[in-house]
């Protein structure tokens, strides 16, 4: 797989990466091994996925001296979780991910969300009523601590995830090391055209997560639309003798996306499917109504239109 995007640091990031969210214990190791063996060179991890040790076991079998791949051939991303936003917690969090992954550096380290949670060992610190315990630590202070990771050589680049355009600009305005990536939910039902355009204008690469709509997300409800069952996308896929998933990715199955191109007409047609509908925002039921769990957080990113 030789298709890359060049980041503002000059690094080449493989266009297609293997995401490890929702990969169950006992399965993620095999998934990473299979991915590396069939040509994936970008593995996307996060402390919050609670499976970095197992990802590390797979990397140890394939990457490094005497293995099939050299370290510089594989691009590894991880993310700083919300409970580690206090500046004094950032380096330890990064070093923990490195230890679990068995690496001496990360190619890219992202702030998973702009929202800080109360520090501690619990991934989701909760009150007795089940609500999340937030912290008002500003993401700018967290970013300044992340810049120190770059200075120490623990990471090659730093970036953002789930930041809106205003928050991205906020970081750029104070950064010594500018963010190279903003990883956000992006698929035909949420095309993110305005955010894409904005990030492009400030040299921040947008990475799409859950490009297939993540139908197995924990808070999905049965009445929500399924991207992979959309007959309009199915018709386009049939025309190219590809799977619907390959058409959505536009670009073994996910890697077989470089041998065809969609016409401009098809791209416009897919763009017209946009519903501005977010799937990957944790939701809860309050007073019989489904609402975004963290909408009350000071730095919740999705009150802005993009």
- Percent of residues, the chain, with pLDDT higher than 70: 92
Residue 251 confidence (pLDDT): 36
Q: Which one of 49, 109, 134, 139 is the catalytic residue?
A: 49
Spelled out in words, what is the top-level CATH class assigned to the domain 9-215? Answer: alpha beta
User: With 50 as the cut, is the pLDDT of residue 254 above it?
Assistant: no
The mean of the pLDDT values for the chain is 89
pLDDT band at 81, cuts 50/70/90? Answer: very high
User: With 70 as the cut, is the pLDDT of residue 300 above it?
Assistant: yes
Give the mean model confidence (pLDDT) for residues 252-281: 77
121-158 pLDDT, tens digit each: 999 999 998 899 999 999 999 999 999 999 999 999 99
Q: 49 an active-site residue?
A: yes
pTM of structure: 0.89
Give the mean model confidence (pLDDT) for residues 187-192: 87
pLDDT band at 220, cuts 50/70/90? Answer: low
User: With 70 as the cut, is the pLDDT of residue 234 above it?
Assistant: yes
Residue 253 confidence (pLDDT): 41
Three-state helix/strand/coil letters over the chain: CCCEEECCCCCEEECCCEECCCCCCCCHHHHHHHHHHCCCCEEECCHHHCCHHHHHHHHHHHECCCCCECHHHCEEEEEECHHHCCHHHHHHHHHHHHHHHCCCCECEEEECCCCCECCCCCCCCECCCCCECECCCCHHHHHHHHHHHHHCCCECCEEEECCCHHHHHHHHHHCCCCCCEEEEECECCECCHHHHHHHHHCCCEEEEECCCCCCCCCCCCCCCCCHHHCHHHHHHHHHHCCCHHHHHHCCCCCCCCCCCCCCHHHHHHHHCCCCCCCCCCCEEEECCEEEECCCCCCCCHHHCCC
Q: Is 138 annotated as a binding residue?
A: no
Query: What residues does each domain of the chain span?
Result: 9-215
User: With 80 as the cut, is the pLDDT of residue 250 above it?
Assistant: no
């Amino acid at each position: 797989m030789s298709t890359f995007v060049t980041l503002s640091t000059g690094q080449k990031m493989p266009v297609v990466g293997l995401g490890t969210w929702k990969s169950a214990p006992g399965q993620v190791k095999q998934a990473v091994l299979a991915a590396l063996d069939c040509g994936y060179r970008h593995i996307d991890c996060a402390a919050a996925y609670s499976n970095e040790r197992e990802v590390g076991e797979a990397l140890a079998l394939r990457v490094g001296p005497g293995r099939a791949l050299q370290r510089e051939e594989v691009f590894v991303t991880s993310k700083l979780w919300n409970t580690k936003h206090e500046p004094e917690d950032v380096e330890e969090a990064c070093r923990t991910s490195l230890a679990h992954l068995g690496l001496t550096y990360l190619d890219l380290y992202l702030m998973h969300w702009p929202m800080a949670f109360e520090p501690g060992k619990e991934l989701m610190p909760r009150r007795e009523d089940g609500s999340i315990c937030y912290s008002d630590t500003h993401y700018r202070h967290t970013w300044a601590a992340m810049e120190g990771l770059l200075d120490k050589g623990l990471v090659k680049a730093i970036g953002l995830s789930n930041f809106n355009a205003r928050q991205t600009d906020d970081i750029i305005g104070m950064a010594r090391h500018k963010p190279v990536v903003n990883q956000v939910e992006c698929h035909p039902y949420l095309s993110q055209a305005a955010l894409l355009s904005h990030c492009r204008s400030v040299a921040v690469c947008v990475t799409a997560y859950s490009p297939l709509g993540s139908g197995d997300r924990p808070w999905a409800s049965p009445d929500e639309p399924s991207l992979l069952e959309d007959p309009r996308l199915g018709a386009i896929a049939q025309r190219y003798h590809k799977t619907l998933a390959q058409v959505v990715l536009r670009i073994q199955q996910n890697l077989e996306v470089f041998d065809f191109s969609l016409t401009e007409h098809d791209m416009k047609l897919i763009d017209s499917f946009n519903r501005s509908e977010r799937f990957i925002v944790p939701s809860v039921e309050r007073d019989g109504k489904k609402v975004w769990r963290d909408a009350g957080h000071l730095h919740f990113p999705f009150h802005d239109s993009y």
